[in-house]
Each structure stands twice: as C-alpha cells, then as structure tokens.
Amino acid sequence: MAKALREIKQKLNMVDIVLEIRDARVPLASGNRNLYEGLGQKPKLIVLNKVNLADEEIVAKWAEWFEQQGTPFFFVDCFDKSAIKKAVSMARQIVEDNRRSCNPDLLESKAKLKLMIVGLPNTGKSTIINQLANKNATKVADKPGQTQIQQWISVDSTIELLDTPGVMPPQVDKEEHGLWLSAIHAIPDDIAGEETVAVFIVKHLLARKSQEFLDRFKLESFDISIDDAFLGIAKVRGCLRQKGLPDLDRVYKIVLAEFRKGELGKTCFGLPPK
C-alpha cells in the first residue's frame, strides 16, 4: 500500500486528473480514503464500474447521495463504451473548468488529456483502459492484483492513460466491509476463506430475496437454512458425495464464481449513509 501510494504520488504532476475506479455494488467501501486524500488538489472523478452487476434501485439512491455530496461521479459498465467515453468527457470538462477557474479568458486547451486510473484491486481499471484503447493494452483477469506495475497507454492523439496496480486501504472501517470487498473479489479469497465468503453471499441473496438465485439452483423458498441452500445447490450441480452429503468446497467455488459473473442476480452491499 505505502509503495503503491508513493508511486501514485510521484506521477501526480504528470497527469491532469485522477479517475478513481470503484465498484458500483459497494460505492463507498470500495473507495480508498487514504488514496483519495493523498491526491491533494489534483482534480478527481469517481467512476463507479460494474453497474451492470448492481441493483438499479440502490444505484439510484447512491447517485442521489453523491449528488448531495457535490462529488463528481459517473456510473459505467465495461461493456458500454459510450458510457466510458462520457466519463472521459466529464473528466475533460472538470480539467477545463479547473483551468479556467483561475483565468476565465483562457481558450480551450488542445493539449492531450492525461488521466491516471487508480482504485482498489479488481474494480476494472485495466478493462476500462482496454475499452478506451480498443485493444488489449494491459492485462485483465478476475482476480485482485493482476496489474503489478504502472503503465502508460496512449489511446489517440487526445488521450493518454496511466494504469496503476490496485491499492487496498490499510484497514477496512467495519468487519462487514471486508466481506463486501471479498464478495466482489477486491480481496483475495484466501484472506477470509472461500467458505466464509460463500456463506455471506448466500445469506445476502436469501435475505434480499434474489429470484435469480432461487431459480438458478431450484431452491424452494427464501426461508431455508444455509445448510439446506448449499445442499440444494450441490444436488442441482451434481456435487453430492457418498451418503448424499454435499461436496461443500465445490459448492463454495460455484457460488463465488457465479455471483461474481452476475448470474445470481444484481445486488448491492450497503446503502448510502443517512
């Protein structure tokens, strides 16, 4: 964390604006206060990615909340190129407004816009860059810590991007936030353990009454125990061992993988603060 933060600060004077990529399912806890504060006066834009995996009603509440805070923000998903381009246009506008706030008579800058992309691991930083660059300029994978070093990517004559490794905050504010970040795979599974994360996800989906979850695993009702839910999943997916006992390790992996692909329903963790 300290090294990554130092490297980010070293490059600050080379960029016009910092895009902090967060996960739209966890809009506040997937931010990094230390990182954000370390950016000082540099213009910032919060980009909430993976909105295609998030609950639309709760996203609307968060949008209202960010509006009230006066924080520039933009919801995107990596498959929607036009939304990503709009986020970059918004970034350009913020930089322009900032430049002209000192001298309103300045003409619009024709210089290349340089953006630094920062955020927690696995939030989709490199994917967003590849979408803008129209090529696999930087490696992506559904696991935290894919990007290990900073890398400049030139999109065209108007935009240049700096990809950076994901940075975890030194600590999470609440234990619950650790589970949220594990569920979205910003934290590697071996930290909390696959069982803990899978149990958390299944409890969350049952409590939130995710119909997709129920239908996908042919479960009878939302009012079942966690053991019955895992047994039901094992039956449907052929993960039963001798004497009809579920092979829980396989079941946990199924839950984690399918939840992260959005196949168990769109969801968010937590609501905006009152």
Which partner from the list ligand GTP, Mg ion, none does 267 bind, CB cut-off 5 to 8 Å by kind? none
Q: Which is nearer to ligand GTP, 35 or 53 (CB)?
A: 53
Q: Which is nearer to ligand GTP, 49 or 267 (CB)?
A: 49
Can you give the length of the chain in residues?
Answer: 274
Q: Cα separations (Å) of 132 from 78, 153, 161, 244?
A: 10, 10, 9, 50
Helices 248-260 + 226-236 axis angle, to 10: 90
Is 150 among the residues that bind ligand GTP (CB under 6 A)?
A: no
Q: Which of residues 165-224 bind ligand GTP (CB under 6 A)?
A: 165-166
Is 262 among the residues that bind ligand GTP (CB under 6 A)?
A: yes
Taking CB under 6 A as the criterion, the residue among 17, 35, 75, 127 binding ligand GTP is 127
Cβ 169 vs Cβ 35: under 8 Å: yes
Is 140 among the residues that bind ligand GTP (CB under 6 A)?
A: yes
- Rounded to whole angstroms, the Cα distance separating 34 from 1 reads 10
Q: Which stretch binds ligand GTP (CB under 6 A): 83-91, 139-147, 174-182, 196-204?
A: 139-147
Q: Which is nearer to Mg ion, 131 or 147 (CB)?
A: 147
Which partner from the list ligand GTP, Mg ion, none does 141 bind, CB cut-off 5 to 8 Å by kind? ligand GTP
Q: Cα separations (Å) of 235 from 88, 169, 252, 262?
A: 47, 39, 13, 21
Q: Which of residues 43-62 bind ligand GTP (CB under 6 A)?
A: 49-50, 52-53
In the complex, which residue's CB is closest to ligand GTP?
166
Residues that bind ligand GTP (CB under 6 A): 49-50, 52-53, 77-78, 121-127, 140-142, 144-147, 165-166, 262
